[in-house]
Amino acid sequence: MSAHTELVSRLRAAWLSGKTRPMEYRVAQLEALGRFLDEKKQDILDATALDMGKPPFEVELSEISICRSELNHTLNNLGTWMKDKHVEKNWATQLDSAFIRKDPYGVVLIIGPWNYPINLLLVPLIGAIAAGNCVVMKPSEISRNVERLVAETLPRYLDKDCFAVVTAGTEETTRLLENKFDYIFFTGTSLRNTQSQPSLQGRETGVELSRQAGCRSIGKYDHTGFMLLPPPSGSPSVGRIVMTAAAKHLTPVTLELGGKNPCYVSDTCNVQNVARRVAWGRFFNAGQTCVAPDYVLCSLEMQEKLLVALREAITEFYGPNPQESPDFARIVGDKHFQRVQALLRSGRVAIGGQTDAQTRYIAPTVLVDVQQDDPVMQEEIFGPILPILTVTSLDDAIAFINARERPLAIYVFSSCKKVVNQVLEKTSSGGFCANDTIMHMTLTSLPFGGIGTSIPGNKVLQGSPAHRRQGKTRALPAVGEILPRVLPALPSPTTPPTAAPEPLPRDCAWHLCPSADPPAFSGWAGGPSLVPMSGPPPPPPSPGVGPLARCRLIPPLEFRLPVPTSPGPCPVPGL
């Protein structure tokens, strides 16, 4: 018996014993996971810095804080999620009890990714623990330091009888997949050059605690599981390998295979605000984000304005030389660096373009004169490169989007609500954001998923009443619906923001760091470099709480994007 087979058998025996089912056990394991995040925070910051040069702020926001939010949400709702759901009875069963019980799948495999190695490994784990599963975790070997940290320290916090970490490369992962699991979560991108991917990878994100399969007879227990999603680094071909391995055991599997996320910018918008939000979403984590805007569609006139504004935004965020900025990450490995660097040959470099192979640095770059058949448009970029393609009209942009695989997210910027609605209604994607980018990923209240090669599956929080299909609630759309495409609670450029009880000044925002009061800063609140406003210095943090070095701000959205004073006419004919 191989080591992997023995491990899976041991976890299955623990699950069959019923050890993971009591609510008290699940809560204890979730609280232990919270202690891991608290006690190993500095180790996480150090490991991600070594692997990808991630700024502390980006790690705090995209790795640690999101995990904490998911953890708190799960602990606050676990009791409700675990309750039986009583259902309607017919004339012959009035004296009986009919209900749905949510049971765990059993032994779950989570294959983690390298781009968000903590977030996309632990968020699925939180869901798996909450649903009462045993779990095998396989962190990505590309993010070596995080892999070592997780493998050496996480098992000290969790029950070793029910949770295990496996470190493995391609061959070992292939052998691991030969074992029978009850659910597999894998994340991979749509990158075509799979030879540059040294291993299977995944960017699991998500918890699907509301899969309820066929309750056929009165009192029949139903199986609720969940999990899953991921993002970048792999390919549809690798996804097929995972699904083929799962099919041998009839194991359900959720994949996320990334995709190219379009961003349409209409002629009626605040160009400076668009540039800041697009630059924020594109260059966060050096562009290695599955939901980042992958390319921009706009008119030729808007392109010229946008180039000027993007140059200013990049300088505002990362200084005149981004290579010296502590707020800009690096490409994860040499093979990934070489792949992204080769994409710079597409079109013409209008901004950036500088590279340094020794430090795996690629400057925030904007390309123009890009053709549809250029290499940069044939695969998910997954790096700090933003191509701009010109279109003649909104209909032209919609046709361009619909002619390609359905993306994981679509972004649209316009001060005309009808333009936003037209893009929403006439396109199909996993996520949708109007007048912002990537921020929908921070909401635990929103499901996460895609269609086709972007993600055949999605995240749904346990207990969610939505997304039912043929009597099942497994994070799939109802018949005739598309997967969730949600407009987050963002201020419309044409509608003043809802007044807060005590609104902050325009140039102020709440501090991400846990200080007693929000200090005042000038400039755009999402920018990496912050300059204190005139007046007394900001108050010191609360005793025993230290702020992040060069901690940036995440303000309320209504203060991050000023409302244009003159929205301009709606460019859509007949609207």
Which residue among the candidates 256, 316, 380, 558 is catalytic per the annotation?
A: 256
Catalytic site includes residue 263: no
Separation between Cα atoms, residue 273 and residue 336, nearest integer Å: 31
Tell me 435's DSSP state: S
Length of the chain: 575
Q: How does DSSP assign 117-156, residue by residue?
A: TTHHHHHHHHHHHHTT-EEEEE--SSSHHHHHHHHHHGGG
Tell me 536's DSSP state: S
Separation between Cα atoms, residue 470 and residue 477, nearest integer Å: 10
Tell me 482's DSSP state: P
Number of Cβ within a 10 Å radius of residue 118 = 25
Name residue, tokens 């010191």.
540
In contact, 58 and 280? CB cutoff 8 Å: no
Separation between Cα atoms, residue 480 and residue 467, nearest integer Å: 11
| 209: amino acid identity, one letter | L
Gyration radius of the chain's alpha carbons: 24
Token pair belonging to 495: 């509608």
CA 391 to mean position of chain CA atoms: 29
CA 507 to mean position of chain CA atoms: 28
Catalytic site includes residue 178: no
Alpha helices in 219-299 (DSSP H): 236-247, 271-283
Which residue among the candidates 67, 134, 290, 298 is catalytic per the annotation?
A: 290
Number of Cβ within a 10 Å radius of residue 43 = 15
Q: How does DSSP assign 206-265, residue by residue?
A: --B--------STT--EE--------SS--HHHHHHHHHHHHTTT--EEEE----EEEEE
Number of Cβ within a 10 Å radius of residue 500 = 10
In contact, 493 and 435? CB cutoff 8 Å: yes
Separation between Cα atoms, residue 376 and residue 343, nearest integer Å: 5
In contact, 183 and 108? CB cutoff 8 Å: yes
Paired with 90 in beta bridges are none
Helix (H, G, I), strand (E, B) or coil at 157: coil
β-strands 448-450, 457-459 pairing:
antiparallel
Tell me 404's DSSP state: S
Paired with 163 in beta bridges are 135
Catalytic residues: 256, 290
